[in-house]
Amino acid sequence: MTSECATLRLEPAVATGAFLDGNIMRQPESHFLDLVVDGQSMRTLAAEQAQDYVTELNRPWLHEVANTVDRFLGRRADEFPAPGRVALLVCPHDGDLGCGQLTAALTFGAAEVTWSDFRWEDDRFDPRPEEHLDQALTFSRAQYESAFADAYRRLAAFSYDELAHRGRRFLWPWQWGWRLPPRV
pLDDT digits (tens, 9 = 90+) for 62-113: 889 999 999 999 988 776 777 889 999 998 877 777 778 899 999 999 999 9
For residue 164, pLDDT over 90 is answered with no
* Distance of alpha carbon 86 from alpha carbon 89, whole angstroms: 9
Among 75, 84, 78, 80, which residue's Cα sits nearest to residue 104? 84
The residues, ordered by sequence, that sit 6+ positions from 149 with a Cβ below 8 Å of its Cβ are none
Rg of the chain on CA atoms, in Å: 20
**Looking at the domain assignment, is residue 180 inside a domain?**
no
Q: Residue 57's domain spans which residues?
A: 8-158
**Looking at the domain assignment, is residue 130 inside a domain?**
yes
Q: Considering the chain, what is the average pLDDT of its residues?
A: 83
Vertex 78 angle, CA 115 and 70, to 5°: 65
What is the predicted pLDDT for the residue at 1? 45
What is the predicted pLDDT for the residue at 132? 84
Read off the pTM: 0.79
**Looking at the domain assignment, is residue 178 inside a domain?**
no
Q: How many domains does the chain have?
A: 1
- E strands, 29-100, where? 29-37, 40-41, 85-89
| Phi, psi (rounded to 5 degrees) for 91 | -60, 135
**Looking at the domain assignment, is residue 23 inside a domain?**
yes
